[in-house]
Amino acid sequence: MMWRLVSCAVFVFLGWQLGSVRAGAAGAAEPEDQVQIQVLFRPEECNRKSKKGDLINAHYDGFLEKDGSQFYCSRSDKQGHPQWFVLGVGQVIRGLDVGMMDMCAGEKRKVTVPAALAFGQTGKGPVPPNATVVFEVEVLSVSRGPRSMEAFGQMDLDQDKSLTKGEVKEYLKLEYEKGGKPRDEPFYEKILADIFWKSDKDQDGQISAKEYNIYERDEL
């Protein structure tokens, strides 16, 4: 069977969405080194490689390893738009979170994923139970994801590894002014209240690097 990156015809979709099932449904997970990665193309220039917490824009096509039949095609889903997701945090199946690490924009891979890191013992939609699946992946862009070290550093004006309401508010003001949409004080106060309610877990009036780093990015 020759696996190729192709423009997809219309396939039966059955309401299936790639990120809707996590590997936890599979019971005891197989080791992550069971994910097989074959690099099909890598550009000569690679300014940034994907890592946990990065925002990825990609096309991916899913096949059953058993017979090569296709069960998913991002080029026919959602008007053919590539998919956006944060890598390494469970927005796609665990096998793809593993298999798409260290990719460059423009890189293409074939990623073979065992059932325990895909759709498990129950399967999903056109994917039968205990099925090994193969994805052909093309990454279009790799960018700084939510809650990156860069954003934290920009807000942490005194570099004490924690954020005060004043620091976060100043950052918000600059961002809105930069976009040509300055807002009034009640607007910022409402956002601040929501941010600190969700992130200030110990309620000490500051957001620590650990509280901020919900994706456990290495650089924090």
User: What is the DSSP annotation of 124-154?
Assistant: BTTBPTT--EEEEEEEEEEE--TT-HHHHHH
CATH class, range 149-212: mainly alpha
Query: pLDDT tens for residues 151-204?
Result: 788 888 999 989 999 998 898 888 778 767 778 888 888 888 878 887 888 999
**In the Cβ-directed half-sphere of 14, how many Cα atoms lie within 13 Å?**
10
**C-alpha gyration radius of the chain:** 20
pLDDT in tens, 18-37: 444 444 444 444 456 799 99
List the chain domain ranges: 36-143, 149-212
> CB-hemisphere CA count at 13 Å for 176?
14
Fold (topology level) of 36-143: Chitinase A; domain 3 (3.10.50)
Any idea which of 70-74, 113-117, 196-200 has the lowest mean pLDDT? 196-200
**pTM exceeding 0.75:** no
pLDDT at 210: 82
